[in-house]
Chains A and B, each alone.
Chain A
Amino acid sequence: MKIAIEKLSKRFGNVDALAAIDLVVESGELVALLGPSGSGKTTLLRTIAGLETSDDGRILLGDIDATRLSVQERRVGFVFQQYALFKQMNVIDNVTFGLRVRKLRDRPDKAEIGRRGQKLLDLVQLSDLAARYPNQLSGGQRQRVALARALAIEPRVLLLDEPFGALDAKIRKELRIWLRELHDSIGYTTLFVTHDQEEALDLADRVVVMNRGRIEQVDTPEGIRQRPASAFVADFVDSSHSIG
């Protein structure tokens, strides 16, 4: 489903967290929000999910104006930076949570919930770990549980906050490839936040570079690399490259 953001603004005191942001993410696209900390990328992601409120502007998910919808009504799949798994529930209960809390008339029956949960675990290759608890999983496994949990609600769009931020370098690379393949096979419109330019340029169809609540450039990875629109973009892509 397409995400369209129109003149989205949010202020924290005197600071523009989001300064009249315009952005369109086409249906099925995989887009990265790239920028240094404090650039507004996470605020934008959380505002799309409804976890933060905007002061002005509109958020459209497909044909629906989601600006005034509650978090619950938006049906957005969100993967948190530290995954925020329910630590008192095992893996399968985590994954099926979104189905189990549906209103009775929308809720699939128990067998169907179990079947869908199993299917999602197959998808993220964790079928053997259904009975484990989050604290018995590795970082990469936790991330995949969080992803399966977000997919269970058949979300309109998928939002990932620093999906690889809590993982060590080796697993990051593996999971990056895996996530790209998964995205291509299930085709959800996906927006993810990262401060790592290599990750953004490697993984995304298009990259949105943000700075101080503004969008500096939206382009394909090649476009960003070869035709940076501003000194900031050139500097950020270049400097974080030499570090990463």
Chain B
Amino acid sequence: MEPTDGQRMSIIVDRSAGSATTERAPVRWLLIAITIAFLSLFLLLPLLEVFVQAFSEGVKVYFAALSDKEALSAIRLTLITAAFAVFFNTIFGICAAWAITNFQFRGKNLLITLIDLPFSVSPVIAGLVFLLLLGSRSPLGSWLSEHGLKIMFATPGLVIATIFVTLPFVARELIPLMQAQGTSEEQAAATLGASGWRTFWHVTLPNIRWGLLYGILLCNARAMGEFGAVSVVSGHIRGMSNTMPLQVEILYNDYHFAAAFAIASLLAFLSFLTLGARSLLERKHGDELAGTRGMA
């Protein structure tokens, strides 16, 4: 049916009032309501519950749980593991992105695909692979332990498993960013006599710094929260090889609910910090990030 002139007018008016895809008011409200309800139910409510449970036996119990010897050891181990994983993956991410943007070589696309592998492999499987590869029953593992190097059920194992799981974050942020920026500034620096190293510090790094920081943030958040892979290689030795997520599980299984949630609340708090820093970065430097370019 042909719309009347009046209807045509209202279409034009509607479109000029909002975006080109403006729906009628009831539809708008329904969609917004569904979004808010869904977010509340699956994100806000559980988070709130973490803090309610953490403080359920009072502030004193909360802080006692956090200053417990095993808890402190878990916090320390989590920070150490995350620091190592972030350090190695940052170096790797920069190397990979530099190689992919500056050099032509065979298998480049395969390399880019491989970097994504940890996203599609279950962390538990990653943990198992390292256990089989480096555990005491493997040739490599027994050789290592003969030489006094304990990898599995110790900090190095946790670091290795965490590196695997968090490997893509920095590289994934830097590769598209550096590809989009191209290599003309690097070429200019070379004609002016700058070595690759100097070019990296003076030209490339200033151009990618916010993207790098963004990748490091995401990598760190994932590293601190990792459970599956770490759970397999940890051996769950209390006060020795437990990270915060593992400690949460152990406490929960022992019916120490308030203590478990106290540590969980600390993890949640670290996530909030990450989220805050992330949005700040996106708002202030969105044009220099790979995923959000043009949005800011």
Are A98 and B207 touching (Cβ within 8 A)?
no
Number of interface residues of B (CB under 8 A): 16
Shortest C-beta distance, B271 to chain A (Å), equals: 31
Cβ of A82: which chain B residues have Cβ within 8 Å of it?
184
How far does the alpha carbon of A221 sit from the alpha carbon of B193 in the complex, in Å? Answer: 34
How far does the alpha carbon of A72 sit from the alpha carbon of B202 in the complex, in Å? Answer: 16
| Cβ-based interface call for B69 (8 A) | no
Number of interface residues of A (CB under 8 A): 26
Q: Given known contacts A84-B187, A87-B185, is B207 in contact with A72 (CB within 8 Å)?
A: no
Are B193 and A84 touching (Cβ within 8 A)?
no
Are A101 and B184 touching (Cβ within 8 A)?
no
Are A72 and B190 touching (Cβ within 8 A)?
yes
| Cβ-based interface call for B8 (8 A) | no
Residue of A nearest to B198 (CB): A101
Q: Given known contacts A82-B184, A87-B207, is B191 in contact with A71 (CB within 8 Å)?
A: yes
Are B185 and A149 touching (Cβ within 8 A)?
no
Give the residue among A49, A85, A86 with the most B Cβ atoms within 10 A. A86
Are B187 and A80 touching (Cβ within 8 A)?
yes
Cβ of B194: which chain A residues have Cβ within 8 Å of it?
72, 97-98, 101
Are A97 and B185 touching (Cβ within 8 A)?
no
How far does the alpha carbon of A50 sit from the alpha carbon of B198 in the complex, in Å? Answer: 18
Are B206 and A80 touching (Cβ within 8 A)?
no
How far does the alpha carbon of A58 sit from the alpha carbon of B26 in the complex, in Å? Answer: 76
| Cβ-based interface call for A77 (8 A) | yes
Are A84 and B207 touching (Cβ within 8 A)?
no
Are B191 and A88 touching (Cβ within 8 A)?
no
| Cβ-based interface call for B189 (8 A) | yes
| Cβ-based interface call for B80 (8 A) | no
| Cβ-based interface call for A192 (8 A) | no
Are B191 and A97 touching (Cβ within 8 A)?
no
Q: Given known contacts A86-B203, A88-B207, is B187 in contact with A51 (CB within 8 Å)?
A: yes
Shortest C-beta distance, A142 to chain B (Å), equals: 12
Are B193 and A102 touching (Cβ within 8 A)?
yes
Shortest C-beta distance, B250 to chain A (Å), equals: 48
Are B193 and A75 touching (Cβ within 8 A)?
yes
Residue of B nearest to A72 (CB): B193
How far does the alpha carbon of A37 sit from the alpha carbon of B142 in the complex, in Å? Answer: 63
Are B191 and A49 touching (Cβ within 8 A)?
yes
Cβ of A80: which chain B residues have Cβ within 8 Å of it?
184, 187-188
Residues of B at the A interface (CB closer than 8 Å) are: 184-185, 187-195, 198, 202-203, 206-207
What are 8 A-to-B residue pairs whose CB atoms are below 8 Å? Answer: A71-B191, A72-B194, A84-B185, A86-B206, A88-B203, A89-B206, A149-B188, A149-B192
Nearest 10 CB-CB pairings of A with B: A98-B192, A84-B184, A88-B206, A84-B188, A101-B194, A78-B191, A71-B190, A72-B193, A101-B198, A84-B185
